């Protein structure tokens, strides 16, 4: 079973406040809805990151994503506002590369993932950053994610390389592990904090 396998579209609230279901369909000042796309080489762990975030699970036996898969998750922030992430988890295999614009077009957030044990995947992440700079929304929020941080002994991409590349490109940087859950919620919480807020009417 792959990490994205048949995970249902679920809404879960975290933190002290509960969801106001009447507001789920639309964005307002307190309840944002954002389109988020994950991009990156095949095997870096995109689907596992989503599965960990949405269902709190990790599946070590993985199937590649075909085309893309969609899940959503709502988080409650400390100020009692909520953010509903509508997540497009794209397929990293080269044969699906031409489909990517269908998913990143109109996305408010792009999460670009590499594997800290794979320099090739770091190069591929830089390709996606450039592609989004050329063809993504001009105000897109980009996060650079070094995943598989649990595999320290096999690390080939120094954290400093990720930090520097992200800084140069105005991105937020974090290292995660979908396996241990390290920094997975923090990734989405940090993104939520960076979203432009609608002014209350
Ligand atoms: N050790 C470790 N393995 C991970 C981690 N995240 C994912 N994996 C493993 O990496 C493999 C690929 O994970 P996926 O999430 O399917 O990769 P993907 O980026 O979605 O790949 P595509 O769908 O082909 O684009 C699986 O065997 C996972 O179990 C992690 O944080 N640590
Ligand atoms: Mg996948």
The pLDDT of 179-199, averaged and rounded, is 91
CB-CB contact of 135 with 101 (8 Å): yes
The pTM of this model reads: 0.89
Q: Which residues place a Cβ less than 5 A from the ion ligand 2?
A: 46-47, 65
* pLDDT tops 60 at residue 10: no
Chain segment 96-150, per-residue pLDDT in tens: 999 999 999 999 999 999 999 999 999 999 999 999 999 999 999 999 999 999 9
Mutate to test the pocket of ligand 1, among 1, 2, 3 (most ligand atoms within 8 A of CB): 3
186 CB-near residues (< 8 Å, 6+ apart) = 174
Q: Given the CA of residue 176, which atom of ligand 1 is nearest to it?
A: 31
Q: Is the CB of 64 under 6 A from ligand 1?
A: yes
- Residues 57-103 pLDDT 10s: 998 987 999 999 999 999 998 888 999 999 999 999 999 999 999 99
The Cα–Cα gap between 183 and 149 comes to 10
Domains of the chain and CATH, by start: 31-193 (3.40.50.300)
């Amino acid at each position: 079973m792959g990490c994205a396998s048949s995970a249902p579209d679920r809404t879960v609230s975290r933190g002290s406040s509960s969801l106001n279901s009447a507001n789920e369909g639309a964005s307002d000042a307190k309840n944002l809805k954002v389109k988020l796309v994950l991009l990156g080489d095949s095997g870096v762990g995109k689907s596992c990151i989503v599965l960990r975030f949405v269902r709190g699970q990790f599946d070590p036996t993985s199937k590649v994503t075909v085309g893309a898969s969609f899940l959503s998750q709502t988080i409650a922030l400390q100020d009692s506002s909520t953010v509903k992430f509508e997540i497009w988890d794209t397929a990293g295999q080269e044969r699906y590369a031409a489909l990517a614009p269908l998913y990143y077009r109109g996305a408010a957030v792009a999460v670009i993932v590499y594997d800290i044990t794979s320099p090739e995947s770091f190069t591929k992440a830089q390709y996606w950053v450039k592609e989004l700079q050329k063809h993504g929304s001009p105000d897109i929020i980009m996060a650079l994610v070094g995943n598989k941080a649990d595999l320290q002994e096999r690390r080939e991409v120094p954290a400093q390389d990720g930090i520097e590349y992200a800084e140069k490109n105005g991105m937020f940087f974090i290292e995660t592990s979908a396996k241990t859950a390290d920094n997975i919620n923090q990734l989405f919480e940090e993104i939520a904090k960076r979203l432009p807020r609608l002014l209350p009417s």
